[in-house]
């Protein structure tokens, strides 16, 4: 007699946050933008006028969320990165590889915020995900067609000992992400890059991509969009 095999039910997919959760967290983050002008008006009265109200509204709706984002996410990342020397992280990652290191994983939430922060655009060329999907597919290493898409990229490469945090992420199209790869220039002049694809042209383009996105990634509008997406 054969025993009946009971199939285990597939685990339910993880639910995204409800709109109520977003409303509460965004109210905590952006509510000061409404109370700061109101408090300034009640305290200063008529001398404040509209110019002062505009400055206070900008401070409340723009500066405060960006500062909260910096304190809650960037500061802890800097503190965590300072606890373990980067040389130790490099040695560990070289020995174990990406598959065995949780620090290499870009979570779904981090990817979602990165796409919202960069408006689903490549930081270098500005092409959107919709425009990229209309282009003909590229040929992969195995000869199969690969659809065009955007990649969440480490600005400072993971293999060089840097962290997978929000302030180290950015969007690049597949073409420019492939060229940039793990490019990073140390202060002593050493250049991180794949040996098999090293050439003067690729190195020059990778350096140009890195220089271009260096300043764009610190745009206050970009950080504000990240604060709204995190809400």
To the nearest 5 percent, what fractions of the chain are helix, strand and coil?
60, 10, 30
Q: 106 with 173, same domain?
A: yes
What share of the chain has pLDDT > 90, as a percent?
A: 33
pLDDT digits (tens, 9 = 90+) for 16-50: 555 566 677 777 777 776 676 666 666 666 555 66
pLDDT at 9 over 60: no
In a domain, 12, yes or no: no
11 part of a folded domain: no
In a domain, 13, yes or no: no
Among 51, 83, 115, give the residue marking a domain's end.
83
**Residues 106, 63 share a domain:** no
Shared domain check, 149 and 54:
no
Same domain, 25 and 71: yes
Angle of helix 32-44 versus helix 19-30 axis, rounded to 10: 30
Query: Do 55 and 35 reside in the same domain of the chain?
Result: yes
Whether residue 144 sits in one domain with residue 73: no
Quote the pLDDT of residue 16. Answer: 54
Q: Please tell me whether residues 57 and 93 are part of one structural domain.
A: no
Neighbours of 73 (CB within 10 A): 17
Residue 125 lies in a domain: yes
Which helix (H) or strand (E) segment is 185 a member of?
strand 184-185
Give the least confident one: 4-13, 65-74, 100-109. 4-13
User: Same domain for 89 and 79?
Assistant: no
| pLDDT over 50 at 215, yes or no | yes
55 & 115 share domain: no
Residue 1 lies inside a defined structural domain of this protein? no
For the chain, the domain total comes to: 2
Domain of 146, in residue numbers: 85-231
Q: 79 and 168 in one domain? A: no
| CA dist list (Å): 4 to 1, 7, 10 | 9, 9, 18
Q: Is residue 104 part of a domain?
A: yes
């Amino acid at each position: 007699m054969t025993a009946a095999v009971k199939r285990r039910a597939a685990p339910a997919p993880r639910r995204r946050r409800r709109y109520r959760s977003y409303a509460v967290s965004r109210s905590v983050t952006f509510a000061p933008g409404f109370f700061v002008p109101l408090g300034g008006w009640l305290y200063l009265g008529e001398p404040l006028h509209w110019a002062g109200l505009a400055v206070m509204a900008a401070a409340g709706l723009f500066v405060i969320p960006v500062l909260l984002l910096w304190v809650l996410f960037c500061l802890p990342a800097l503190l965590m990165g300072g606890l373990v020397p980067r040389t130790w992280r490099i040695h560990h990652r070289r020995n174990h590889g990406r598959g065995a290191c949780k620090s290499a994983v870009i979570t779904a939430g981090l990817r979602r915020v990165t796409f919202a922060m960069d408006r689903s655009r490549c930081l270098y060329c500005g092409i959107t995900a919709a425009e990229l999907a209309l282009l003909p597919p590229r040929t992969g290493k195995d000869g199969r067609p690969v659809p065009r898409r955007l990649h969440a990229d480490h600005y400072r490469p993971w293999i060089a000992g840097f962290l997978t945090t929000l302030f180290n992420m950015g969007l690049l199209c597949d073409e420019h992400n492939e060229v940039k790869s793990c490019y990073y220039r140390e202060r002593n002049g050493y250049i991180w890059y794949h040996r098999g694809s090293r050439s003067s042209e690729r190195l020059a383009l990778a350096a140009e991509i890195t220089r271009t996105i260096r300043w764009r990634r610190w745009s206050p509008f970009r950080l504000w969009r990240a604060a709204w997406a995190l809400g």
